[in-house]
Amino acid sequence: MIGACNCGSVSFEITGSPPSVYHCYCTLCQKQGGTASNAGTIVYIDRFRWVSGESCIEEWRKDTGFSSHFCNVCGSPVPNIFKSQYVWIPVGLVENLNTQAVANIWLGSKPAWAIPVQLERNYDSAPEDLAEFIQYLNLEKIA
């Protein structure tokens, strides 16, 4: 699977079967995306590689540890490596991603005007066990 930002400067590849998607309704994602929620997934770092544009990536970090990585040419959010073993992927960048949304997180802070569809898992805040959640997103799905 290939992903790229709006201008094409930053591009990357994910290997293996398509990971599932979650929607995050936290207030940080609302501001970062300018919308109700952020659609993302998290893959293990061995399934991810940069194809181009790593040098175009700008980072903004909040005191709390939240960080936003974006293309310094077009402003698209781009993947973000964390805990040196995982990569957060803004899934809107991935071409023809044939997968399903399985979880909503941070529903407790969704804006009044958003109407989330209930998915297989629905969390009021963050999943308690991040490693388990990431494993769940990467479960091999039967087509």
Q: Contact positions toward Zn ion, by CB under 5 A?
A: 5, 7, 9, 24, 26, 29, 71, 73-74
State the minimum distance, in angstroms, from the CB of residue 43 to Zn ion. 17
State the minimum distance, in angstroms, from the CB of residue 100 to Zn ion. 19
State the minimum distance, in angstroms, from the CB of residue 129 to Zn ion. 17
Residue placing its CB nearer to Zn ion in the complex, 55 or 98: 55
Pairing of strands 121-122, 101-105: parallel
Query: What is the distance between the alpha carbons of residues 23 and 37, in angstroms, rounded to a whole number?
Result: 6
What is the Cα gyration radius of the chain?
A: 15
Given a contact cutoff of 8 angstroms between Cβ atoms, the answer to whether 5 and 57 are in contact is no
Residue placing its CB nearer to Zn ion in the complex, 17 or 56: 56
Query: What is the distance between the alpha carbons of residues 71 and 34, in angstroms, rounded to a whole number?
Result: 16
Residue placing its CB nearer to Zn ion in the complex, 7 or 101: 7
DSSP 122-143: E-SSS-S-HHHHHHHHTSPPP-
State the minimum distance, in angstroms, from the CB of residue 29 to Zn ion. 3
Residue placing its CB nearer to Zn ion in the complex, 43 or 71: 71
State the minimum distance, in angstroms, from the CB of residue 143 to Zn ion. 29
Written as six digits, the tokens of 27 are 């207030």
Residue placing its CB nearer to Zn ion in the complex, 48 or 88: 88
CA within 13 Å, CB half, 105: 21
